[in-house]
Structure formats: C-alpha cells, structure tokens
Structure 1
Amino acid sequence: MKKILLVSFLVSTSLFANIYELKPIDITKNIRCFIGDFNPPTKSNKGFVSNVCYIDKGDSIVVIEPGPTYNFAKELNEYIKKHNGKKVTQVIATNFHDDRYTGASYYKQNHIPIIAHKTIVKELEENPDKFTRIPSVTTKEQYANSKVVQPDILTDERYVIKGSYLNIEVLKLSPGSNSASDISVYVPKEDFIFTGNTVFNGRFIKYGKYSDIDNWIKALEKLQSMNIKYVLGGHGKEYDKNSYKNNLEYLNILKSSVKKAYENNIDRQDIKKHIKDEKFSFYKHFDSLSISNAKTYYDQLQWQ
C-alpha cells in the first residue's frame, strides 16, 4: 500500500512539476531576465529559445515576451507571484515569432493586455506556418492551451506605460528589421533596452524572408545614437552597451558584399565565396546561417 501511495505521489508531482525551470539573471534591481537556449526549438528546450524579461515599475509588473507556450507564461507568472508578489498588468510582444508570441494565449485567458506593433496583425495572418515548430518538439501536455491569439493594444512609433516608480517606452526603432513587427522596450530610468530580434548574440544573426536589411541597419544605428548602458537582444546573454555592434558590422558586410556579387552576375549558388564574414565564425550556427542569409538577401535583390 505504501509503495502504491509513493508511486501515485511521484506521478502526480511529475504532472505538475515545472516544465521550463526558469533561471533568472538580474540586469538591474527592477529588471530580471531569463536567457533562452541558443538553438532552434528542440525537445530539450521545449521552444524556450529567446530571451524573456519582466520589469517592476513600482505599482505592478510588465512582462517582455509572452514566450513559446501557454505553460511557459503560466510558470513565469507563478515565479513572479512567488518572488515579487505583484500583479502582472501588461505583456509586450516584440514580434510575431512563435518562440516569443505563442504564450500570449495565457495572458489572453487571464485578461492581461497584450501589447504589440500594429504590423503584427498582418504577419500573424500571413505566416501560420511559423507556428508549427513548437508543437512538433513538445508533448500535448507541454503545449496544452497554447494557441495564436490577437493582441489587445497595437502600437505605432512610441507607446508609454507609466508606473509609480518608472516608465516604460515601447519603441519602433525603424520600419522593420528581422521582421516588420520588431519593437524594442526602453526603460530610461534603468538605462536599459530590450531590443527583441533587432539584436542577436550568442548565436549567429538570422536574416529571413521578411527581414529588411536597410531598415535593420537604421534600427541599429538609432540604437547606437541612444548610447544605452544595458542592451539585451532577443537572443544571447550579453547585455553590455556594445552587444549590438557585431550585428551592425555584419549586416553592412552582408549588404555590400551580396550587392556587389549580384551586380557582377555571380551565381546564387556561389554567393558564399564572396561574403567576407569569417570574423563572425565563432557564433553558434554560423556555417548554416551565413549561407542562408546571403542567399535570402540575394533573392530579395532579384525582386527589387
């Protein structure tokens, strides 16, 4: 009988155990973040591959990124309740990608306003295939209640969330970078900015079919002009003021090299030979992404 009770207890405990085991880093006294895995979604990381933060604005908490699943968002909110004891009043989604946005279903269910840029509505509508990755690497239980929902508050160039201790600014640094809906979250009082997918480190930058190289460079140049002390990207654990600089240098190399090769009628299959980006080869996934980035931008030039 004791053995049966013990087995039953262990089974019930495993069912309700945390899936993600969140490990925080404190950027400032009022900003705590959780660093995502440097790989694409896998069974081991369960889709937690991008950074998530929360900000204590005095009277309440604001979360940056809904996260990859309903259960991720639920665990994060339980963590906040345990460690901060304050109510979460808003969540900001910095773009439409599945690893950042799917957890919005938790916030929607709990009537916590979801803030995103106005372009996210079109991106969600046009990219349903973007939301097939995480269900394929999680169990039904892990992905339970996760679904794509609509945001509640749509921003444009700037949106301010006021707090009793500090204010939070949701900024559009340029019309688009990695995606059209990319936004950043700036906390002037803490000299901190969360850039979402405008900045990558720890893993190589991804230039996708919806990326805009000119505006991405503009966004990084705008970031440079702001001279902020703490700059945390959407991927990677670096958050010093120079954490974006390799991205800016690489995108300028990608733009000039591919453009020159295209104008010289270099075949698409040979494009990699003409990109001088070896100095970034220490980044995770460099070999595969360096090639795909060059080909993607080459394809965009063909349609300009």
Structure 2
Amino acid sequence: MIRFVLPLMALCTTSVHANENIADQYPGSALYSAPVEFIPGVFSAIGATAPPTYENSGHNNNLSFIVTGEGVVVINGGGAYVLAEALHEEIKARTDQPVILVVNENGQGHAMLGNSYWAEQGVPIIAHEDAAAEFEDRGFRILEAMQVLNKEKAEGTYLQGPTETFSDEYIVELGEYRIEVRYLGPSHSSGDVVVWLPKQDLVIAGDIAFHERMLPLFEDTYTLDWLETWDTEFEALNATYVIPGHGHPTNMDQVRLYTKGYLEYLRGKIGEHIEAGGGLADAYYVDQSRYAHLDTFEELATKNAGRVYEQMEFE
C-alpha cells in the first residue's frame, strides 16, 4: 500500500484553518480557496465551512480532482457555472491533461449546478441514479435559490443532470489510479457516493463524512440508516486519508468523531429525552454543547435535534 507524508494543513485536526467568519480566502477567484495537492495527483479546493453566501459564491463544499496522467477526473460539478469554470482554470494552470470525467457526489446544488459548465466542455458526467432523480425532482427550486443567493454570479448556470447514471459502482483505471465511485448505502442525502482510490488508500468521501463543521440533517436524512452504512460499508474501506464533503482533508478518526460520533451522541440525547417523556418543543434544546465549537453549530444544532426527535419518536 502506498503511503504519503501529508502536508501540515492536512494533518491539522482542529478548526484553526476553517473559520466560517472568513468570507473568502481566495479573492482572485470565484472559488473560496485555491486547490491544494493533498497527496500526489489529488487536489481539493476546500469550500467555506459556512452556509452558502454571495461572498463565497456558494462554494461551501470540497471540489476535488485527480490528475491521472491519462486525463483529469473532477469530483463535484460545483455549485454554479462560475465555480466550475474557476476550478477548470485552476486545473489548466497545473496540467495540460484534459478533464475527461466529472463525478457528482450527490443530487444537491453544490454537486450538480456546475454541470452546466462541464456539459458545454463535452465532458461526461456521472452520478448515482438516486442523485439524478433527486436533482430532476428538486432542480428548479435548487437553481432558483442559487440565483437569489449569487445574483449576477449565477449567470450561465442552467439545469444539467448527469449524462450517465449507475446503481452500485462505476470504476475506471487511469495511469496509476484505480478510481472506484461507490454507492455504499443510505447516508446524508439521496445517492451519496464516495470515490475510493485503493492504491492510494484515500477516499473522497462526499457528504457521508464531515469535518470542522456541523453536519445538517434534511427531512429525508435517516440517521439510523446513515449509521448502518457507516459501520458496515464506510469503515470497511479502512482509509488512511479522507477528503470529506466539508472541511479540510484529514483521517478516519476525525471524520468518525464529527460524523458518526455526532449522530450517535445526538440520538443518545434524544433517546433520553423521549424516555423521560419529553416532547418536540423541548427536544430542540437538548445539550449539544460539546459540538458548539463546530462551524454552522448555531444554524443547525436545534434543527438537527428536532429532526432526530421526529425520527426516533416512531422507531
């Protein structure tokens, strides 16, 4: 198994490098931050650990790419045409290899709205069939919300789903890279996938794994299913290196702490609340203070508690 020495930024396990109060770390680009080479050939432009804003152009997730020697594979279309175009400029500044594939990690706007740019470049775009269905169903609302947020920076963005879908896995071998795009099971949102590089012992985890910011729970995020997928499939990868969907590249211990650990902790607190006869109104305020240092805590903690209560009430 190939091992690499990680840069200082990647080894950091605190939130010192991620601060939701920093509006933009890369003023010369629409991207929130410039791509950094995490291990040889694998780059990621780390998004803001904050909600999408006009200042960060909606770049609040990680946009990654792999320079394989036989072409570049991009992971995430980006949250707008302008972000995909900016990422492509960064890729062209680092290699002459063309982009030959785009992977959408799920059906959310930050994964798919930039497909409009990549489709114009003639690049194939793949996604899980459930993510494609989600984007087809909700795409108009997602696009409209981005247009309100990004104003003139929304120009050029239109609804473009993947050009190809899969159900279980999509595998390509390019240069020294075996790239396995895998659906591991239900997790954060419909059709979430990971990109597993077994030779490099690295997983681009998408929204299955969070770091440095609090994860959000949607109405259709079933925490018990997410935990089962984590325990039975994600842990089985035994990855040394993790590029999460949000937050800086890190390791399994950190994403386990802030994803699986948080879900188990919140479910435990809500379970105690239900056992004591508590209702929904008070469930919003169960103690989550041990996670108060995470970015987006103020925006998400109470909402998450309410959604977990609504699920566990009927489990």
With normalisation by structure 2, the TM-score equals 0.84
Q: 1:298/1:125 Cα in 2 relative to 1: closer, same or farther (>3 Å)?
A: farther
Judge conservation of contact 2:169–2:183 (CA < 8 Å) in 1: yes
Are positions 1:244 and 2:258 aligned together? no
Secondary structure at 2:307 match in 1: helix
Judge conservation of contact 2:202–2:240 (CA < 8 Å) in 1: yes
Deviation at 1:249, TM superposition (A): 1.1
**Structure label with greater radius of gyration:** 1
Judge conservation of contact 2:241–2:249 (CA < 8 Å) in 1: no
Judge conservation of contact 1:58–1:166 (CA < 8 Å) in 2: no
Judge conservation of contact 1:220–1:244 (CA < 8 Å) in 2: no
> Which residue of 1 is the match for residue 291 of structure 2?
280
CA distance in 1, matches of 2:229, 2:243: 14
Note the 1:80-229 alignment, pairs <5 A: 80-127=91-138, 128-140=140-152, 142-174=153-185, 176-221=186-231, 222-229=233-240
Which deviations, in whole Å up to 9, do the C-alpha atoms of 1:230-256 show, x marking residues without a partner? 111110014223231121111112223
Judge conservation of contact 1:66–1:93 (CA < 8 Å) in 2: yes
Deviation at 1:164, TM superposition (A): 2.5
Secondary structure at 2:106 match in 1: coil
Which deviations, in whole Å up to 9, do the C-alpha atoms of 1:150-171 show, x marking residues without a partner? 2112122221012132110001
Judge conservation of contact 1:66–1:100 (CA < 8 Å) in 2: yes
Equivalenced residues, count: 285
CA distance in 1, matches of 2:56, 2:236: 35
Judge conservation of contact 1:253–1:276 (CA < 8 Å) in 2: no
Return 18-27 or 208-217, whichever deviates more: 18-27
Secondary structure at 2:66 match in 1: strand
What do you get for the CA RMSD once the two structures are aligned?
Answer: 1.9
> Which residue of 1 is the match for residue 20 of structure 2?
none
Secondary structure at 2:190 match in 1: coil
CA distance in 1, matches of 2:115, 2:146: 14
> Which residue of 1 is the match for residue 245 of structure 2?
234
Deviation at 1:276, TM superposition (A): 4.3
Where is the helix percentage greater, Structure 1 or Structure 2?
Answer: 1
**1:293 pairs with one of 270, 285, 304:** 304
Judge conservation of contact 2:30–2:56 (CA < 8 Å) in 1: no
Are positions 1:270 and 2:300 aligned together? no
Secondary structure at 1:138 match in 2: helix
Identical-residue share of aligned pairs (%): 24
CA distance in 1, matches of 2:30, 2:169: 35
CA distance in 1, matches of 2:253, 2:56: 28
